[in-house]
Amino acid sequence: MRRSKGRGEMTFHLGAALALGLMAAASPALAQPIGAGAPATVQPDTDEYLQHAASVASVHQLNRQGDLSATIFSTVGGDPAMNGEYVFLSFSGSPHDAAQIFRIGDVLSYRIVAETRGRVLLQVTENVMNDSGEIGTRSRRVAVTWTAGAAGAPPASVRVATAR
């Protein structure tokens, strides 16, 4: 003789099935790869946080900082004719703390030349305006230095200076 399921057991199985279905629907493994299958018409994503992400131009993880999780990243959004790329140095603490972010400066472009613990050397190209109002460019090296806080915490400040 087959036993019928009680209300609690049925509710549990229904809830488990629903949870598994939702997880499967949200799973990246089940997401449609780009260009796979029939053509798809995609609408704009309305997530307001993506507006901030859309301005990110580059991200460079710094790998020689010991326990500090440090990243140099840049955003764009200013006048592209006058140093429209904004360079930041970010330190991530514990997952419960917000990142410590320092604005290094505004440039036309940059690249990381060297990195050592507590220091990164950047080669920057900047727009400069002469006395006649004409815009030109110059290139220079900039050293960004810091000292980690106690117990590997992010630094309280960073120093930005032209490198010789």
pLDDT in tens, 78-95: 666 689 999 999 998 777
Name the more confident of 36 and 92. 92
Q: pLDDT category, 17, cuts 50, 70, 90? A: very low
Over residues 90-112, the mean pLDDT reads 90
Spatial contact of 85 and 75, defined as CB atoms under 8 Å apart: yes
Q: What is the mean pLDDT of residues 41-54?
A: 87
With vertex at residue 80, the alpha carbon angle to CA 74 and CA 81, rounded to the nearest 5 degrees, is 135
Is it the case that residue 159 has pLDDT exceeding 90?
yes
Q: What is the pLDDT of residue 29?
A: 52
Residue 30: what pLDDT?
55
69-76 and 158-162 strand pairing: unpaired
Angle at 9 between CA 7 and CA 14, to 5 degrees: 90
> Rounded to two decimals, what is the model's pTM?
0.73
* pLDDT value at residue 66: 85
